[in-house]
Amino acid sequence: MEECCSSKPKKEQNHNHEGHDHAHDTGDKSIFRMFLPAIVSFVLLLVGVVLDNYLKTNWFNGWVRLVWYLIAYIPVGLPVLKDAYESITKGDVFSEFFLMGIATVGAFAIGEYPEGVAVMLFYSVGEVFQAMAVTKAKNNIKSLLDQRPDEVTVIKGGKPVIVKAEFVKIGEIIQLKSGEKLGLDGELLSEKASFNTSALTGESKPDTKTKGETILAGMINLNTLSEVKVTTAYEDSKLSKILELVQNATSQKAPTELFIRKFAKVYTPIVVFLAIGITFLPYFFVEEYQFRDWLYRALVFLVISCPCALVISIPLGYFGGIGSGSRNGILFKGSNFLDSLANIQNVVMDKTGTMTEGVFKVQEVNFKSEFDKNEILKWVNALESKSSHPVATAIHDFVGEVDNNIQLDNVEEIAGHGLKANIKGKEILVGNFKLMDRFNINCDIRPENIVYTLIAVAYDQKFVGYLTIADSIKADAQSTINKLKSLNVKTTMLSGDKASVVQYVADALGIENAYGDLLPEDKVNKVKDIKAKNQTVAFVGDGVNDAPVVALSDVGIAMGGLGSDATIETADVVIQDDMPSKIPMAINIGKQTKKIVWQNIALAFIVKAVVLILGAGGLATMWEAVFADVGVALLAILNAVRIQKMKFN
């Protein structure tokens, strides 16, 4: 992961409270090499314990016994003592390495050699597991996202040439074979191709693209040989931005994480001074004061109080939440937004492109019976082919290919109204009802009572009927609202679209409040009204047109992460595949992450508090102290990485 994090300051890459390399990079080390020092120490410790308690030989005492346990201590103890020394030279005296160092050296000083070795051995084993957990979490995210191939095939002089992806220029043409990953963003030149987009969206369902559509770095060509025209430089590709976003996400700390860091800075020196007090203060209150006994209790106290369970497992918990989001096509710009989403009370959403497809489709054809429906539709399709309006696209998609045998004469587009032409010597009109009024066509319907966009048709001065065109509701929109309600989250729809259309969509989905015909400033005022009730708000939109509302909301969620670079820049959370069902999923990931973090905090404090009291009272030995430190840390880490395995569907 070194290359993944090289752009960040060293301090931000580490995971303990003072910037120490608590979880060393394990990417280039085998598991055996990582555990080798611990294995050596464990074997020597085991032999020593057998010689001490079972064989009881005459030669295993005095300086021989001391040297034996020192040799057992060195493989695991020396790296920790080195870290402690380095932290002291940087001005950080009260690090966890310092705690473990004085505790184990102190154990040697009072003759508790096996316990000194055991404490450092189990601490070192815990450190290796922690390092493995952190590295695995990072590698999981990197493998999910960094799907860019190092080399691509570029067509030069009509021949395919393999070149480094970062050297490919905008405008060059890439040849993409079946099974290959695209290295740069581009425009599809081939007629049609299917792609696996799971690296970007978390969605395994193949996505079929047609000529002229945008395809992105990381997508995998599934079938035919395809050609792609490069539209974005390697370093500016969508995937590069996503990688950068996830890599920098851990720099945006959640309040809980920031509190634990500040707490550890104060807590550790207090623990050291309390240990000194446990050693010397009993002299003034206890009749038979034994320095060795009270020093042992203080050393136990130091081992127990090491805060690594908190300073490792909590950031790892948030990192796991960010990783789970990435796996499901949800990008969090920081762990603070996981916390914010966990407490969201209101989701305010745009309509077009969020809960609806953003693509107009013909919903209904209502023609009078005296006209040939199929013939009229062919005429309408032929006439609309002369227009670039989205309505024309909707009609073309509905009817199919244009019949080139249809003879159109005197075609005229009337701005704001529609189209006029002659077919078979008679006039045909296709447009809105203003067009019908303009040509005095008598219509026997009330268009204001119909929520859809209406396209009226007249032929030979007679009203033929109308087509209804609408932006269809997304397939998972209904389940989205149901899940939000199950999470006790209130829903509101704000849109600049026609109020009756907005209300229709809201009623169909069960959205509690809906407002249409809104300008951007009207949306801001609506969100302000909600926040005035001291309620938290997440706004879901495109992140560009709705920038003022996104800035005002507690969490800005952008739909269409694959469509707009500005979206990634402005939003706090990016949903890459435009699926609204990812909104409750993101909230659920936030809730589960926060739950796991607080479980770890409770576990660490309760266990440590109990054993601290027992240790100060002389009822706990170094062995209980080891469990309270390393054991609790490992349990907390296992709990933290659990979120990466959770299903959030």
List of residues 6+ apart from 254 with CB closer than 8 A: 318, 334, 335, 336, 338, 339, 597
Please give the order of strands across the beta sheet that includes 330-332: 330-332, 573-575, 555-559, 537-541, 346-349, 490-494, 513-515
Strands (DSSP E) along 475-592, which ranges?
A: 490-494, 513-515, 537-541, 555-559, 573-575
Structure tokens at 79: 């790296």
In this structure, what DSSP letter does residue 290 have? -
Q: What percent of the chain has pLDDT over 70?
A: 84
- Gap between the Cα atoms of 77 and 389, Å rounded: 74
Q: For residues 593 and 340, is the Cβ–Cβ distance under 8 A?
A: no
Band (pLDDT 50/70/90 cuts) for residue 13 is very low
- Gap between the Cα atoms of 21 and 87, Å rounded: 10
Res 6 pLDDT > 50: no
Helices (H) and strands (E) in the chain, counts: 23, 22
Q: Which helix (H) or strand (E) holds 359?
A: strand 356-367
Say what the pLDDT of residue 71 is: 95
Q: For residues 18 and 95, is the Cβ–Cβ distance under 8 A?
A: yes
List of residues 6+ apart from 201 with CB closer than 8 A: 329, 562, 576, 577
pLDDT tens for residues 326-355? 778 888 888 888 989 999 999 999 887 788
Res 588 pLDDT > 80: yes
Going by C-alpha positions, the residue among 557, 630, 579, 617 that lies closest to residue 207 is 579
Query: Reduced to 3 states, what is the DSSP secondary structure of residue 94?
Result: coil
Q: Is 350 an annotated catalytic residue?
A: yes
Catalytic option among 83, 146, 350, 471: 350
Query: Reduced to 3 states, what is the DSSP secondary structure of residue 461?
Result: coil
Say what the pLDDT of residue 457 is: 96
Res 370 pLDDT > 50: yes
- Gap between the Cα atoms of 254 and 335, Å rounded: 5
Instruction: Taking residues 486-492, report their average pLDDT.
Output: 95
pLDDT tens for residues 100-116? 888 788 888 888 888 88
Q: Record the pTM.
A: 0.67
- Gap between the Cα atoms of 440 and 454, Å rounded: 18
Query: How many residues does this entry show for the chain?
Result: 649
pLDDT tens for residues 530-549? 999 989 999 998 655 566 78
Res 590 pLDDT > 90: yes
